[in-house]
Amino acid sequence: AQLYLGTCYRDGKEGLEKDLRKAFSLFVLSTKQDNAYAQCYLAQLYETGIENYFEKNLQKAIQLYQLSAKQRN
């Protein structure tokens, strides 16, 4: 449910306003539960950064992409 809610905030769907900060927080929670999809979505946010929240971090993005790939996703 955290992952889906995170995608809803990321994309602004299901009646929710787009909020990348909330999406980020939910993806972090899902990543801590070893969710490979969340790891990939979180990597995408690190790859681009979130304005007025944090700058892009390609090293962290690559680390998360690799972690996700190890889980075959």
Q: pLDDT digits over 7-62, tens only?
A: 999 999 999 999 999 999 999 999 999 999 999 999 999 999 998 888 999 999 99
Question: pLDDT at residue 3 above 70?
Answer: yes
Long-range (24+ apart) CB contacts under 8 A made by 25-30 are 26/2, 27/2, 27/3, 29/2, 30/2, 30/3, 30/6
Check residue 73 and give its pLDDT.
55
